[in-house]
Each structure stands twice: as C-alpha cells, then as structure tokens.
Amino acid sequence: MSIKEILIAIFARIDVKHKWQQDFLLELFELVYSIQGRLTFENMARYSKFNESTFRRNFKKVFDWLGFNWEVLDWGGLDFSNPVIAAIDCSYLPKAGKSTYGLDKFFSSVAGKAKKGLEISLLSLIDTISGMAWALDVKQTPSALSAKEGNSNDYTRIDFYMEQIIKLKKRLQAVRYFVADGYYAKLKVFTTMELMHKDLITKFRPDANLRYLYTGPSEKRRGRPTQFAGKVIWKSLDLSKWDHIGADEKYAYLEIYTLVLNSPHYKRNFRIVLLHNTKTNKYILLACTDIDLSARLIVRYYQLRFKIEFLFRDAKQFCGLTHCQARSKEALDFHFNMSLAAVNLLQLQMKLDPTINSMNSFVRKAYNTRLVAWLFSQLSDEAEFDINHPKVQKALNLGAIRA
C-alpha cells in the first residue's frame, strides 16, 4: 500500500469529517517526503498546489494526532501480542525569536549544556521482540517551568511530563513497564507510577544512597525488627553480597550483578542491577520498581530505551522536526506531531514493503517520483508514462540504495 492509501484508510477509522482537512493532510504528507530543503511554509508552497497562507492557516487547526498515531500502530505498526514497553524522553530543538511559544533554556545532549530553544516530550511504545519504537504522543514543554523536581506544591517540568503519561492511562492499560533515563529518577515519577500500577526502569547515580536489606535471623527482642544491614559503600563494594547473573547477552564485556536494595530518599525498595564494565572497570546502576523482574529483562528493556532516540533522529533528518517556521502554540504543536507521525508512517510503509531499504531511499524515490510526474505534466495532455516501466523505475530510483 502507498502512503496515500494508508492515510485514506486511517482517516476513515478516526472519522475526519472535513474533506478539506483530508485533502490538506494528503498533500502535506506527500510533501514531507518529496521536497528538497526545509519544511517551512514558504518552501512547501513552492512544491505544492496550496499557497503559503493555506499552510499557515491549516497548521493552526486542531487534529487528533494521538488517535492518528494509535491507528498507525493498530494498523500493523506494533504487534500488541508481543510484550510492549513505554519509553519517555525529551529532545531539545533549536529555535530563535522572542515571540515563539515555549522559548526557554533546555538541556541539549549534543552540546552537553542548557541552550535557548524549544523542547518536546515524546511518549513512545516499543515492541520488545522486534525492538522497533513508535511515537504515540508528542507535547511541547512550556517555558518558565523549573527543571528541578521541587516539592509537592511546586509545578515543574516533571509534573508536566507526568501529566502527559496520566492523560494516556486508558491507552496504556496493556503496558506495565516504563523506561526512562536518569533524569526521571524522581520521587514524583515513582509516585505517579505507583498510583497508575506501573513500574519504572531507570538509571541511578553511581554513588546513589542505598542500603542493604537485613536477611539474617530474627532477634528475640522487643521493638521493631531489624530492616537494614548498613549502607552500600561504593568505593569498597563487596560484590560477594550480590547475585552474579553472568555476562550480558549483547555486550560480553558487561558483567551483571543484582540485588534488592532500599533507598532512604525514595522510601522504597528497588531491584538494582549493577553492570560492571570489565574493560574500563567502571559500573552503572539500573533500578526497577518491580523487585521481582529478572535482571536480564531489566537490562534488555533499558537497552531498548535508546530506540526512542531513533525517532528523534529520523524526525530531524527526514521529516523536518526542527524546521518549523511558526511561533504560535497551536502551529508548533501541529508541526511537531506531524513530523513524528510522518516517521510512524514511514516505518509502517517499510514494514509493509520489504523492498524499501531505508528512510533515505524512500525519501529519495519520493522526490524523484514527484519530479518525473511534474515533468510529464508540463508536456502535452496526451503525454503519459508507465510508472512500472523498467526505465521509469530506474529513473525513480536514482540516488536510492539498491536492493
């Protein structure tokens, strides 16, 4: 099926009532893959039957992007019969201007510091068998929110991120495990997960304040039974107290150790997984709120968390995530959601058509197809071409990776 056929089928399922919006979105998604240069209103108008003001106007319209992404996943993108985990992460987007909504200082992992720009929060679903991630919900982080957790009365960025998850509770009933990087190791996050009856897998600092659980014999004395057996001293760590699981299946130089420890700060127990790098003699700590989950699954799920980064990468490289020309909240939201939805559509197309080798090849062929169609449209009305002819196919695949 082509992208256009998939879109028409999805529109019928999410009940897009206005014909003009269907026509606009069909044209928009065709443009995303087939034009050269940035996805700005002016540049899209150069390749489109619509003018610049039409793009500006329609980018401020409301569209059910969550329902759209869900239909893409349900259409065949995500196999819900396999175990599915959810991943949440943020991405910094460069943006200039004084009047742009959400403009603030956000952390850029590329620069390694906070920079002025925009930020989006993405919740994705990951198939643990195929390892493919799919964008589900995109929200732009508002400005003037503290990056610190704050107390229970403070509304910070962490509260905003958790609201995004809470609003999707009905959609996430079949998902138990969430994965997030170390920034999300916050009391508010653990509390939200507990209230939703979900479990979080995250990363702790290498000097995290943790203590051993007391597992010795019960003492016959009055008072509260002994719960803890001392603090974990990381500088002189005794690994004989830990359960040695063995080498990691993916990276043989990583030795896996695990133990259930208590955190005084978070006031709860965690399944802690210590990954010892035998090459560098360093370690990282993974923490899971489900103390019964196996250490190998914790490691595998956290390794799959990185798949969300591919969504950001592909949206920036192929679908114009950082190209938005607008300044209003509505237009920015439309652009960010459109960009990640376009990645979902591309992944679905690649899954349905094994001959597509990469997103780069698909985008290249889409541009060639648009160019050839335009060239023939400039000839006489009788001029026609067979798109399946070998010579035409050779022209359409110019620059694309050959199978």
Tell me the pLDDT tens digit for each residue of 85-101.
Answer: 999 999 999 998 889 99
Residue 189 falls inside a structural domain = no
Which residue, 262, 291, 320, sits at the end of a domain? Answer: 291
Note whether 58 and 113 are same-domain residues.
yes
What per-residue string of b and e applies to 89-128 under the rule 16 or more CB within 10 Å gives b?
bbbbbebeeeebbbbbebebeeeeeeeebbbbbbbbbbbe
Note whether 174 and 88 are same-domain residues.
yes
User: Is 398 a residue whose pLDDT tops 70?
Assistant: no
pLDDT bracket for residue 365 (50, 70, 90): confident
Note whether 287 and 216 are same-domain residues.
yes
Encode pLDDT of 44-79 as tens digits.
999 898 999 999 999 999 999 999 999 999 887 687
Give the three-class secondary structure for 213: strand
Which residue, 244, 266, 291, sits at the end of a domain? Answer: 291
Note whether 116 and 225 are same-domain residues.
no
Residue 51 falls inside a structural domain = yes
Give residues with Cβ within 8 angstroms of 86, minimum separation 6: 123, 124, 125, 126, 136, 165, 172, 175, 177, 178, 179
Note whether 321 and 375 are same-domain residues.
no
Note whether 152 and 221 are same-domain residues.
no
The least confident of 156-165, 214-223, 240-249, 299-308 is 214-223
Residue 379 falls inside a structural domain = yes
Which residue, 353, 368, 388, sits at the end of a domain? Answer: 353
pLDDT, mean of residues 152-167 = 95
| Best mean pLDDT range from 213-227, 332-346, 366-380 | 332-346
Task: Decide: residue 181, CB within 10 A, 0-12 exposed, 13-18 middle, 19+ buried.
Answer: middle
Which residue did the predictor score with more confidence, 355 or 290?
290
Distance between CA atoms of residues 34 and 275, nearest Å: 44
pLDDT of residue 381: 65
pLDDT, mean over the chain: 90
Q: Which domain holds residue 161?
A: 3-180+307-353
Note whether 155 and 261 are same-domain residues.
no
Residue 218 falls inside a structural domain = yes
pLDDT, mean of residues 168-192 = 95
Note whether 122 and 225 are same-domain residues.
no
User: Is 211 a residue whose pLDDT tops 80?
Assistant: yes
pLDDT, mean of residues 201-229 = 86
Residue 144 falls inside a structural domain = yes
User: Is 139 a residue whose pLDDT tops 60?
Assistant: yes
User: Is 251 a residue whose pLDDT tops 60?
Assistant: yes
Residue 186 falls inside a structural domain = no
Which residue did the predictor score with more confidence, 191 or 80?
191
pLDDT of residue 147: 92
Per the structure, the count of domains in the chain is 3
User: Is 258 a residue whose pLDDT tops 70?
Assistant: yes
**Prediction pTM value:** 0.89
Residue in this structure with the two tokens 């070998």, named with its chain if needed: 390
Residue type, 269: N
Tell me the percentage of the chain whose pLDDT exceeds 70: 92
Note whether 219 and 122 are same-domain residues.
no
Residue 191 falls inside a structural domain = no
Nearest to 362 by CA among 33, 30, 32, 8: 33
pLDDT bracket for residue 224 (50, 70, 90): confident
User: Is 143 a residue whose pLDDT tops 70?
Assistant: yes
Note whether 28 and 141 are same-domain residues.
yes
pLDDT, mean of residues 202-217 = 92
Residue 188 falls inside a structural domain = no
pLDDT of residue 285: 97
Note whether 259 and 385 are same-domain residues.
no
Note whether 252 and 326 are same-domain residues.
no
pLDDT of residue 81: 82
Which residue did the predictor score with more confidence, 109 or 355?
109
